[in-house]
Structure 1
Amino acid sequence: MATDADLRKLLYKVAKAYHDDGLTQQQIAIRLGLSRIKVSRLLRTARDERIVQISIASPQDSNADIERQLERQYGLKEALVVTCLTDDPVSIVDGLGVVAASCLTRGLQGDEVIALSWGTSVLSVVNALAPMDLPDVRVVQLLGGLGELEAQTHGADLARRMAQALGAKPRLIHAPGIVKDEIVREALVKDPQVADTLDLAGRADIALVGIGLFAPGSTLLSGGNTLTTAEVEQLKSQGVVGDIALQFFNEQGLKVDHPINRRIVGTDLEKIKAIPRVVGVAGGVEKVRAIRAALLGGLIDVLVTDDRTGEALLAAPESRPHGNQPAWGQSADDLQCTPDGNRG
């Protein structure tokens, strides 16, 4: 009959073989005459008994801890936090664009549909893209055009430029993002080209979006030709704090019902939310309220932001996000995985 000392010796031997020698569980099982399931249980016990104590060091000069806390607090799949040494909004957005571009492209397999919104944050990502050759990738607008056609932040220009950088195919919406009345909108969304493009956007694999601030000075409101003063005041009175692709949401990240929704030629907020990986790019402490609302509403899966904004989001009163599930912080038992997650 095995004693406690014998068991601890076996635990030590199995742990050393696995963690130091790099043997798989199956190789250890063959060497020691055990089943693979038994080896897995011994490794788990070794960790529970603190024979194995794992220490993970975060990279120097990184925001890994802030990222981890944001992922836990808001149920994000991933957070990427950029250190910004200036308060200059242009510099902050440029820094976010470089990181977001890497995040967007690192996992591309070559057959994805990428949907994107508009605005300065999305522009910064497009500007940072390195040339690629992905002819089967499709880049599609989430929303018809806003602002002047010549503007760099116009959705059609952004989609075209992203497709060019990726060597991909663009799918454009040849219509304004907001029209004068519901009748015009209904006619446009029934047009086969517009309908097919919006349908493709709703079935995208990845979405790249900015999180708009609903306040004076924002890209949306500064143009002066998108919303009337009366509409702005009505939306404010209904608690609007931000938008994603001209889909307005309140403090809890819920879509606000307003007649303007029936004038928008774009993808509905619930369809955007349902896209498997929605990457939100937004920074600057003035956007904390809008970003937090988007997080609480589960409107994005990945957040790319700056360190000051990240810290402000962590300092905000905790509320449970709805619509997304925490991807981090689960125990091995919750995940039903082997101790290293993959090296069976």
Structure 2
Amino acid sequence: MHPRESEDSLAVRAAWMHHVGGMTQAQVATRLGISGVKAHRLVAHANRIGAIRVTVEGDILSCLEAEQALAQRFGLTECRVVPDLHETGLPLRALGQAGAQFLEEEMRSQPEATIGVGHGRTLGAVVSALPQMDAARLRFVSLLGGLTRTYAANPHDVMHRLTERTGAEAYVLPVPFFANSTADRDVFLGQRGVGDVVAMGLGARLMIAGIGTVQPDAQIIASRLVEAAEVTEVMARGGQGELLGHFFDAAGQSVETGLTARTLSPDLAHLRERRIVAIAGGETKVAAIRAVLQSGLLSGLIADERTAQSLIGDVDGTS
């Protein structure tokens, strides 16, 4: 139960859990510490105040406070914190829904824009939650190479799925995430067509990305994009978080290794002053998200409530 919340914000929280989180009203009641009758009335109230549509809309006091705290501390121009759905592992349902809502708003407000996109499980969840829509004048462009030895090793082909959902043009980088050597990197970038896609990505009005960890179970290792030993070197130099192929330590400083010299993604110099919005959350990613936030590269963050509270606790010295 969140005693500081108004009736409206508590109703939105209950509606989010019920309609987005897939909980029964009895489960909502248990989570919020209220009676089943109260849970039913809250969901009905959310419907009366217009919060329930295809998605749940409305402001929750604790989420608004978290957004303001994160934005102020890390210099973000936009921040969205969505209610905790008590998911095990990565909060993909909550982040997917919130990210899809954000992306849909962007597409409708700028129907002829170019949007740069990363890859990974979280962005895969965003695309899965995106409604079928007509955005034929929009362009999506991959900001990262993503070729692997087998398709099964890279199941999160967000570009292909974005095209299926929106009808927009999508441009991919037909190169690996990391080249085998710096010489190979130069060869890849010199290939006809690759440079054009890179330039298109650098000119994107908006860049949407996930945030990766450098732990042994990191997605870039699980997807066979890099070898575990290569990430171990990043860890040894203090690396904690990854954004668009770049690694950062706890202070937000770039971690330079042989691996980072081979990345096939926009250089850090080109990412400065860009509008980059990250979608990320989960207990295992708090340190990584904090490191990327400290870098100052992000203009926006979409996170779940539990992750946001952990980041705020770190800032306040309360955790």
TM range (shorter): 0.7 to 0.9
Which has the larger displacement, 124-133 or 229-238? 229-238
SS of residue paired to 1:175: strand
Cα shift at 1:149: 5.0
Once residues 208 and 248 of structure 1 are traced to their aligned partners in structure 2, the CA distance between those partners, rounded to angstroms, is: 17
Summarize the Cα distance change of 1:229–1:287 in structure 2 as closer, same or farther, 3 Å threshold: closer
Q: Is the 8 A contact 1:278 1:301 kept in 2?
A: yes
In structure 2, the partner of 1:201 is: 201
Cα shift at 1:284: 0.9
Match of residue 310, structure 2, among 301, 309, 312:
312
In structure 1, the partner of 2:136 is: 135
Deviations 1:59-114 (CA, angstroms, capped at 9, x unpaired) = 45761111122112221112211222324125x11210111111122133211111
- Indicate whether 1:122 and 2:120 are aligned: no
Higher relative contact order (CA 8 A, sep 6+): 1
Match of residue 294, structure 1, among 286, 289, 292:
292
For residue 65 of structure 2, what is the amino acid of its counterpart?
D
Once residues 153 and 160 of structure 2 are traced to their aligned partners in structure 1, the CA distance between those partners, rounded to angstroms, is: 11
Once residues 170 and 212 of structure 1 are traced to their aligned partners in structure 2, the CA distance between those partners, rounded to angstroms, is: 23
Cα shift at 1:274: 3.0
In structure 2, the partner of 1:285 is: 283
* Structure 2 unmatched ranges of 5 or more: 1-57
- Indicate whether 1:219 and 2:224 are aligned: no
Aligned residues: 258
Once residues 106 and 176 of structure 2 are traced to their aligned partners in structure 1, the CA distance between those partners, rounded to angstroms, is: 32
In structure 2, the partner of 1:274 is: 273
Q: Is the 8 A contact 2:206 2:276 kept in 1?
A: yes
Once residues 151 and 122 of structure 1 are traced to their aligned partners in structure 2, the CA distance between those partners, rounded to angstroms, is: 17
Q: TM-score, normalised by structure 1?
A: 0.69
Cα shift at 1:312: 0.8
1:1-344 correspondence runs (5 A)? 59-60=59-60, 63-90=63-90, 92-108=91-107, 109-147=110-148, 149-151=150-152, 157-223=157-223, 225-275=224-274, 277-317=275-315
Deviations 1:164-214 (CA, angstroms, capped at 9, x unpaired) = 322210111111112222222211101121111011111111111000011
Once residues 172 and 266 of structure 1 are traced to their aligned partners in structure 2, the CA distance between those partners, rounded to angstroms, is: 12
Once residues 168 and 226 of structure 1 are traced to their aligned partners in structure 2, the CA distance between those partners, rounded to angstroms, is: 27
Q: Is the 8 A contact 1:114 1:204 kept in 2?
A: yes
Q: Indicate the structure (1 or 2) with the bigger Cα radius of gyration.
A: 1
For residue 179 of structure 1, what is the amino acid of its counterpart?
A
Once residues 199 and 220 of structure 1 are traced to their aligned partners in structure 2, the CA distance between those partners, rounded to angstroms, is: 24
Deviations 1:18-60 (CA, angstroms, capped at 9, x unpaired) = xxxxxxxxxxxxxxxxxxxxxxxxxxxxxxxxxxxxxxxx945
For residue 291 of structure 1, what is the amino acid of its counterpart?
I
Once residues 82 and 152 of structure 1 are traced to their aligned partners in structure 2, the CA distance between those partners, rounded to angstroms, is: 30
Q: Is the 8 A contact 1:147 1:154 kept in 2?
A: no
Once residues 194 and 272 of structure 1 are traced to their aligned partners in structure 2, the CA distance between those partners, rounded to angstroms, is: 18
Summarize the Cα distance change of 1:81–1:147 in structure 2 as closer, same or farther, 3 Å threshold: farther
Summarize the Cα distance change of 1:133–1:84 in structure 2 as closer, same or farther, 3 Å threshold: same
For residue 118 of structure 2, what is the amino acid of its counterpart?
S
Q: Is the 8 A contact 1:136 1:168 kept in 2?
A: yes
* Structure 1 unmatched ranges of 5 or more: 1-57, 320-344
Q: TM-score, normalised by structure 2?
A: 0.75
Once residues 60 and 185 of structure 2 are traced to their aligned partners in structure 1, the CA distance between those partners, rounded to angstroms, is: 52
